[in-house]
Structure 1
Amino acid sequence: MTAQDVLLPKAVLWDMDGTLLDTEPIWDEAMEALAVRHGVVMTRELRMATLGNNSVDALTKVYDAALLPESGRDFDGDEAWMIALVVELFARELPWRPGAVAVLDMVAAADIPMLLVTNTMREVADIAIGTIGADRFVATVCGDEVEFGKPAPDIYLRAAELVGAHPGDCLAIEDSPTGAAAAHAAGVPHLVVPSQIPVVPAGRRVFRDTLAGLSLVEFADLFAQARTRPPA
């Protein structure tokens, strides 16, 4: 069966961390270092709460855990410190998630435009994009380039606008509750391949355990299911 035989999305909107690249362990290390910097133990609950967040939201949750008053919250300084650390960690190695390269190639072969949609700030994301291949995407949108990052819908609405497609005609691929919530809020059908924590069922949302072994026919079927699953 060829791409002409199935209904395919107008564009595929890829999350990066935990979806294309197995970077969440790297972020674990960075977030733990941030917690230590503020005298907080990075519990599993705190780490799960920050998973997929943009930098401001993640910092806020660490500050809250540290009981830091507003006057002691140095967002700019701590963000710069985090960027420097994550850039250093990203430079070591960026492993792929299972099946990600094959699905990227499959979507490209079907002539479907792809965009990268990540909460990671541009300065850090560009390092990872170099590993993935910037030429795979018609555009990339980062969390510091919209007013509100995930779980707000802004980043997905911007991606759909850039590719000239209605959000409901696109397919997002996500791994986290934060990212899935953003796609849901934007009205984008989405495939969730969980990495570290479960994602609850919702409208426009379908699931697969891994990207490995995903065929074009199943890809189209998942898109059809996500489109017809009514909003919650």
Structure 2
Amino acid sequence: MSDLRTETPSPAVLRPAAVLFDMDGTLIDSEKVWEIAIVELARAYGGELSERARAAMVGVAMGESMRIMYEDLGQTWRDPDAGARELEDRVAGLFTSGLVWRPGATVLLAAVRAAGIPTALVTSTSRRLVEVALDTLGRDSFDAVVCGDEVPANKPDPAPYRMAADALGVDVTACVAIEDSPAGIASARAAGATVLAVPCELDLSHLHGETGIHLRGSLDDVDVPHLATLLVPSKA
């Protein structure tokens, strides 16, 4: 007879302590909105942002994004706070025009809520813009919301995901985080969460096989039982 104490729990009896959702590029297709605003701002400064710089800005905090932009444009003398305000003003206007859900995102979020699993929104975006986005996402869709301007350090630092788990009163190592950017994935993994990585604007194939990171092409067909399987340690 096998010793039940040493057997790996079946995915059928597992469930995440919470599901922690990134926002831009994960739940909503807002990276294209940011793209419009960033390109417009760079041109207003008399320059064109390189593809390398634009890719580096995905998923990181506003201050770091502005630093990347200014270095790329050769305008490091500019005030990052002023630039951030200009960028946010434009994005806020674009957000109010309506946001599009990423494939499978609305169905998965509804399924997680229906299962009674706590949820958190964990984003590098400022509270001002998140409040606009919640008109699309639903204000009752999350038990906690952690915004980029409300954390001591932003992604890729683990602080945002640790704060989300603390706000929900759960162990972050028993949570699944859903992310689309290298910075967000690094943040969630550093905090101890298991990560479902779903690319949007950036290729994540280099992360294949990394411990605690599971790649999917989209959230289509991802359900609560599938999230449970991610918590089962792989057998070496």
What is the TM-score normalised by the length of structure 2?
A: 0.89
CA contact (8 A) 1:204 1:229 kept: no
Residue equivalent to 2:32? 25
Residue equivalent to 1:73? 78
2:200 is aligned, of 195, 200, 206, to 195
Deviation, 1:219, is 2.2
Show CA shifts across 1:43-91 (max 9, x none).
Answer: 221110111111001000011112224xx22122111111110011111
Q: 1:61 to 1:43 in 2, by over 3 A?
A: same
Residue equivalent to 2:161? 156
1:176 is aligned, of 178, 181, 195, to 181
Residue equivalent to 1:34? 41
Counterpart-to-counterpart distance in 2, 1:215 and 1:170: 15
2:69 is aligned, of 50, 56, 62, to 62
Pairing 1:11–2:41 present: no
Runs (4+) of structure 1 exceeding 6 A deviation are: none
Specify the code of the residue in structure 1 equivalent to 2:221: G
Deviation, 1:229, is 8.9
SS of match in other structure, 1:73: coil
Show CA shifts across 1:11-60 (max 9, x none).
Answer: 11000000000001101111112222333312221110111111001000
CA contact (8 A) 2:15 2:225 kept: no
CA contact (8 A) 2:119 2:144 kept: yes
Deviation, 1:140, is 0.2
Show CA shifts across 1:139-185 (max 9, x none).
Answer: 10001001211111111111011111121011100011111111111
| Unaligned runs of at least 5 residues, structure 2 | 1-10
Counterpart-to-counterpart distance in 2, 1:50 and 1:57: 8
SS of match in other structure, 2:193: coil
Counterpart-to-counterpart distance in 2, 1:137 and 1:178: 22
Residue equivalent to 1:205? 213
- Aligned identity (percent) is 38
Residue equivalent to 1:120? 125
Specify the code of the residue in structure 2 equivalent to 1:67: G
Residue equivalent to 1:43? 50
Q: 1:117 to 1:189 in 2, by over 3 A?
A: same
Q: Which of 122-131 and 34-43 deviates more?
A: 34-43
What is the TM-score normalised by the length of structure 1?
A: 0.91
Residue equivalent to 2:224? 216
Counterpart-to-counterpart distance in 1, 2:90 and 2:107: 30
Larger Rg over CA atoms: 2
